[in-house]
Amino acid sequence: MDVLIQYGIHGGTASQVAASVERAILEGRLGPGAALPPVRVLAAALGLSAATVAAAYRTLRIRGLVAGEGRRGTRVVLRPPLLARPGPVVGPGTRDLAEGNPDPALLPDLRRVLRALPARSALYGAPSVLLALRRRAARQLDRDGIPSPSLAILGGAMDAIERVLQAHLRPGDRVAVEDPGYAGVLDLVGALGLVPEPVPVDDLGPRPAALEAAVRAGARAVIVTPRAQNPTGAALDETRARQLRALLDRHPDVLLVEDDHAGPVAGTPAFTLAHARKPRWAAVRSVSKSLGPDLRLAVLAGDATTVARVVGRQALGAGWVSHLLQGAVAALWADDGIERQLREAADAYARRRRALIDALARRGVPAHGRSGLNVWIPVREEAATVAAMAAEGWAVRAGEPYRLRSGPAVRITVSTLAPEEAPRVAAALARALGARGRTPAA
């Protein structure tokens, strides 16, 4: 059979067949979206029972490598979780506007709070959440309208999102995700064996009609970024939040996961979809963009069942997030000077976004960036645009990792881009796009 020769599928047991398919995916012989042979066809070719091949395919689905698509058969998922997605390559002398980090100059100096931490380490049996951090987190969430009777502390936003999804979903379940959306979330959904249901976004977040369609198509969960959406900068306003909240209220069994990764430096107010009446929900607030990525801490609020499941699973693995990190975050949140610094950082990021968007508009290039650290620019050819920008000394990110069905674009991180530099970036991008035709409609 040609497919066996071409892809090297072989083996005498279910685990061996699954391993050979995994190797074919890893080595690029089976690409994203490629169809696997029907169970009975492959069983006959290998001289195995259909039950053995079905078990191999089930193993691959659990690993998040393939998905069953009804009459279309079993196919490799679009984002198989085998290798870490390589980051952008920034050559010597090239300015990095691709990586997505916050500006180090706008992050708090940690030395003072670290010197004030306790000299003794916490021991086994201590509470998993420091009381000082719990109180500060609850106060912050309550101020933004997010209920906080149940809280957990996790090792960053992605850790929290993964644990929430695992607490409620199983491989094969559909999840409504933003499109474009954060590459890490899209990859995580695939790694868990879940099926992404793309929901188009505009400058105000997920489009209500599209989210309704995704839920009606069977999505059992929805992941929403309320502000500083990566990569587009979308942010909910009061009207959009009310529309989406009403929509989700009509589907009480759908799990809501809210990813507020930028928090106070997003540059827009917090509008939440979560409320105490919703049976299944989780709101995640990370400190990575505001206080520093290396703190690896996120607060999780949610319904009692969701938080209990997350904490219970955490106890069996990592156990807890370091009390040293928790103490540092609690001390930073208690400092009035840090609160002023975060407001100044949010204002600085907003000026940098606006400077680039305005400079692009003067060149006739539409762009998006209502909040957060990034500006999203639709283009016709991503790779060519990235290469042309690199030739002019600017490293920008191709949009492909962030897209499922949405059109091509590039992402420019403005966190360290001074407003006076924006016209130079806009001019370079306009030249790059001019050499390759006009940009598509935004």
Q: For the segment 169-189, what is each residue's pLDDT rounded down to a tens digit?
A: 998 899 999 999 999 999 899
pLDDT at 67 exceeding the cut of 90: no
Strands of the sheet containing 374-378, edge to edge, are 374-378, 409-413, 397-398
Question: Which residue do the tokens 């030739």 mark?
Answer: 391
Q: What is the per-residue pLDDT for 93?
A: 85
For CA atoms 19, 20, 21, 27, give the dihedral sign: positive
Alpha-carbon distance of 325 to 117, in angstroms, equals: 9
In this predicted model, what pLDDT tens digit does every residue of 97-108 receive, in sequence order? 999 999 999 999
Query: Residue-wise over 351-365: b if at least 16 C-beta within 10 A, else e?
Result: ebbbbbbebbeeeeb
- State the pLDDT confidence band at 88, using cuts at 50, 70 and 90: low
Say which range, 40-44, 264-268, 427-431, has the weakest mean pLDDT.
Answer: 40-44
Q: Which of 317, 335, 353 is the last residue of a domain?
A: 335
Alpha-carbon distance of 123 to 319, in angstroms, equals: 11
CATH number at residue 357: 3.90.1150.10
In this predicted model, what pLDDT tens digit does every residue of 347-385 receive, in sequence order? 999 999 999 999 999 999 999 999 999 999 999 999 999
pLDDT at 436 exceeding the cut of 60: no
In this predicted model, what pLDDT tens digit does every residue of 216-268 receive, in sequence order? 999 999 999 999 999 999 999 999 999 999 999 999 999 999 999 999 999 99
Alpha-carbon distance of 232 to 41, in angstroms, equals: 44
Alpha-carbon distance of 374 to 106, in angstroms, equals: 16
- Do 175 and 305 lie in one domain? The reply is yes
For residue 116, give the amino acid letter.
A
Say which range, 86-90, 277-281, 295-299, 435-439, has the weakest mean pLDDT.
Answer: 435-439
Phi-psi region of 60 (alpha: psi -120 to 50; beta: other; left: phi over 0): alpha
- Closest by CA to 227, choosing from 310, 280, 289, 153, is 289
Alpha-carbon distance of 131 to 138, in angstroms, equals: 10
CA distances from 47 to 1, 10, 11 (A): 12, 10, 10
pLDDT at 3 exceeding the cut of 60: no
Which residues, in sequence order, are CB contacts of 4 under 8 Å at separation 6+?
Answer: 10, 42, 45, 46
Alpha-carbon distance of 232 to 180, in angstroms, equals: 7
- Do 398 and 355 lie in one domain? The reply is yes
- State the pLDDT confidence band at 285, using cuts at 50, 70 and 90: very high
Q: Which of 283, 313, 335 is the last residue of a domain?
A: 335
Alpha-carbon distance of 80 to 34, in angstroms, equals: 11
Alpha-carbon distance of 373 to 228, in angstroms, equals: 7
Q: What is the per-residue pLDDT for 211?
A: 98
- Closest by CA to 76, choosing from 193, 178, 199, is 193
β-strands 205-206, 219-224 pairing: unpaired
What average pLDDT does the segment 71-89 reach? Answer: 71
What average pLDDT does the segment 13-32 reach? Answer: 89
- Do 265 and 312 lie in one domain? The reply is yes
Residue 212 lies in a domain: yes
- Do 292 and 225 lie in one domain? The reply is yes
Q: Which of 282, 303, 335 is the last residue of a domain?
A: 335
- State the pLDDT confidence band at 69, using cuts at 50, 70 and 90: low
- Do 99 and 201 lie in one domain? The reply is no
β-strands 174-179, 195-202 pairing: parallel
% pLDDT > 90, the chain = 76
Residue 210 lies in a domain: yes
CA distances from 274 to 136, 159, 235, 278, 299 (A): 19, 19, 15, 7, 15
CB 169 within 8 Å of CB 196: no
CATH number at residue 289: 3.40.640.10
CB 287 within 8 Å of CB 256: no
Residue 263 lies in a domain: yes
Q: What is the per-residue pLDDT for 70?
A: 63
Residue 84 lies in a domain: no
Q: What is the per-residue pLDDT for 80?
A: 75
In this predicted model, what pLDDT tens digit does every residue of 390-420 receive, in sequence order? 999 999 999 999 999 999 999 999 999 999 9
- Do 125 and 252 lie in one domain? The reply is yes
- Do 186 and 319 lie in one domain? The reply is yes
Q: What is the per-residue pLDDT for 403?
A: 94
Residue 195: domain span: 119-335
If one counts the domains in the chain, the total is 3
Number of residues in the chain: 442
Alpha-carbon distance of 358 to 367, in angstroms, equals: 9
- Between CA 196 and CA 402, with CA 281 as vertex, the angle to 5 degrees is 30
- Do 41 and 188 lie in one domain? The reply is no
Residue 184 lies in a domain: yes
CATH number at residue 12: 1.10.10.10
Residue 61 lies in a domain: yes
- State the pLDDT confidence band at 28, using cuts at 50, 70 and 90: confident
